[in-house]
């Protein structure tokens, strides 16, 4: 992209919202992953769908690569502008456009963060359930079909979205849905663009379902002598129809990290962190039933917390695990894997993952969203050591192949980006040809986040 092209973009975006400043470009060259950074040639900060439309229309005309950018909290290199071009930063589009509390619906721009949304919803007695851990933008969460600890009860991002406003590569502005809770009208374009990682267009508005804040919340911590016992307990809880809101598995190594950070003395053994939402009477029944199930599966210790402060402390350890590892291994960077298997295969998959991690000799731990079969290995690697990077990549490939053989997926929630692209053919087979056709049809000039997800000439 030459200077003349950059100057032409200044016709669509005011001077103060387009920059070639090296520091800002460097910020937009990477995300939280271990993938190699790459500088964009310019960074643009649009404030409206119309500006995005003008930018994409000209980018399409000049075949300039466009990489959408939220906060850069992704873990698979989605926002790395590996083909150069422009980085399109949506941080200036952060309005909550409409709050329809009577319909349990909210419309937001893509730059709204999860914490901003929850703060606004709380005034109306509402909350948004998808919690990926990081304070990501709603646009970024939509682009990667994010999920997190509450998936077992509320579902993933695509389960919350009623409508998207999307700007296509040729500059058209369209909507994929409406305000109705369900529809049988036409192809499901909302789900197509959710999880498309900026490869088909730019999302400029998201219409979301929201929920009433639960009347009562109870959390629990349960320890087991083995991972198999812990996962079997989760399977039984789900099969029993108990509407559990969160159920997280933390391995022994990670419990040691929690104890260091929180100055707790939790028993160092496979542990479940659980949470229940509901009314008081129903919640008491659910908790009692769950306790019986836990004991039936060899639970060695269970502690329930109803007090807000105690619950917050319990979950603080789980949410800050990544920090505990990075704090304990100065000079190393974290690489987080992400595979998902049928729940019946989860215990065996985690045990296999632990064995492979030790085989590679890499420090780290394993945690899992036990209610939906998703688990992560948190590895601390020296990014300057090519041998360690090779070991980490080998480990990642091994657990992905293991997951695929069991009917699982190479990514449960982090997305494809750069890191998981090489596994798509093994997972999808001929369906990948259909995805390729969709990409070619909707983005024939390959300007939208090229190098990610689908490669076309």
In this prediction, residue 2 carries a pLDDT of: 65
Residue 3 has pLDDT above 80, yes or no: no
As its CATH architecture, domain 329-415 has 2-Layer Sandwich (3.30)
Please report which confidence band the pLDDT of residue 316 belongs to, taking 50, 70 and 90 as the band edges: confident
pLDDT given for residue 28 in this prediction: 98
8 vs 192, higher pLDDT: 192
Task: Return residue ranges of the chain for CATH 3.30.465.10.
Answer: 96-212
What's the pLDDT band for 423 if we cut at 50, 70, 90?
very high
Whether 195 shows a pLDDT value over 80: the answer reads yes
- Which pLDDT tens digit goes with each residue over 156-165? 999 999 999 9
Predicted TM-score of the model (pTM): 0.94
User: What pLDDT digit, counting tens, does each position of 97-112 carry?
Assistant: 999 999 999 999 999 9
pLDDT at 1 over 70: no
Look at residue 48 and tell me whether its pLDDT is greater than 90: yes
Q: 309-318, 345-354, 383-392: which has the minimum mean pLDDT? A: 309-318
Q: CATH assignment of 3-91?
A: 3.30.43.10
Location of each CATH 3.30.70.2740 domain in the chain: 329-415
Question: What average pLDDT does the chain have?
Answer: 94
More confident residue, 338 or 323: 338
- Give ranges for CATH 3.30.70.2190 in the chain: 216-315
Give the architecture-level CATH label for domain 96-212.
2-Layer Sandwich (3.30)
Mean pLDDT of 434-438: 96
pLDDT digits (tens, 9 = 90+) for 98-148: 999 999 999 999 999 999 999 999 999 999 999 998 899 999 999 999 998
| Gap between the Cα atoms of 52 and 77, Å rounded | 22
Q: Output the CATH code of domain 216-315.
A: 3.30.70.2190
Rounded distance, CA 254 to CA 216, Å?
A: 29
For residue 82, give both structure tokens: 């590996």
């Amino acid at each position: 992209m030459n200077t003349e092209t950059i100057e032409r973009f200044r016709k669509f975006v005011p001077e103060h919202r387009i920059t070639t400043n090296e520091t800002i470009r460097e910020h937009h060259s990477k995300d939280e992953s271990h993938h190699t950074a790459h500088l964009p040639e310019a960074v643009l900060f649009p404030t409206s769908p119309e500006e995005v439309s003008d930018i994409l229309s000209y980018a399409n005309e000049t075949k300039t690569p466009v990489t959408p950018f939220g906060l850069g909290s992704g873990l698979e290199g989605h926002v790395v502008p590996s083909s150069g071009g422009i980085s399109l930063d949506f941080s200036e589009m952060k309005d909550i456009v409409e709050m329809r509390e009577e319909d349990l619906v909210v419309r937001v721009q893509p730059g709204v963060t999860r914490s901003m949304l929850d703060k606004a919803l709380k005034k109306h007695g509402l909350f948004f359930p998808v919690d990926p851990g990081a304070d990501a933008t709603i646009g970024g969460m939509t682009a990667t079909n994010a999920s997190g600890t509450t998936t077992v009860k509320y579902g993933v991002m695509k389960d919350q979205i009623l409508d998207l406003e999307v700007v296509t590569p040729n500059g058209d502005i369209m909507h994929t849905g409406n305000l109705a809770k369900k529809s049988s009208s036409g192809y499901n374009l909302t789900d197509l663009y959710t999880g498309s990682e900026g490869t088909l267009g730019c999302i400029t508005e998201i219409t979301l379902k929201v929920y009433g804040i639960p009347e009562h919340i109870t959390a629990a911590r349960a320890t087991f002598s083995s991972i198999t016992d812990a996962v079997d307990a989760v399977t039984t809880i789900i099969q029993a129809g108990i509407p559990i809101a969160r159920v997280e598995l933390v391995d022994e190594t990670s419990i040691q990290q929690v104890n260091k950070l929180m100055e707790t003395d939790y028993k160092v053994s496979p542990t479940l962190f659980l949470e229940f939402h509901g009314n008081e009477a129903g919640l008491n029944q659910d908790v009692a039933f769950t306790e019986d199930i836990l004991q039936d599966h060899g639970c060695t210790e269970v502690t329930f917390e109803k007090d807000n402060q105690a619950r917050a402390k319990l979950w603080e350890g789980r949410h800050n695990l990544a920090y505990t590892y990075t704090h304990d291994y100065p000079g190393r960077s974290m690489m987080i894997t992400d595979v998902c298997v049928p729940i019946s295969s989860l215990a065996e998959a985690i045990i296999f993952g632990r064995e492979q991690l030790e085989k590679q000799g890499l420090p780290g731990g394993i945690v899992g969203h036990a209610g939906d079969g998703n688990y992560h290995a948190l590895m601390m690697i020296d990014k300057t050591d090519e041998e360690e990077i090779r070991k980490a990549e080998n480990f990642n490939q091994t657990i992905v192949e293991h997951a695929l053989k069991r009917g699982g997926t190479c990514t449960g929630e982090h997305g494809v980006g750069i890191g998981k692209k090489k596994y798509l053919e093994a997972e999808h087979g001929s369906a990948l040809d259909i995805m390729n056709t969709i990409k070619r049809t909707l983005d024939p000039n390959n300007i939208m986040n090229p190098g990610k997800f689908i490669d076309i000439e």
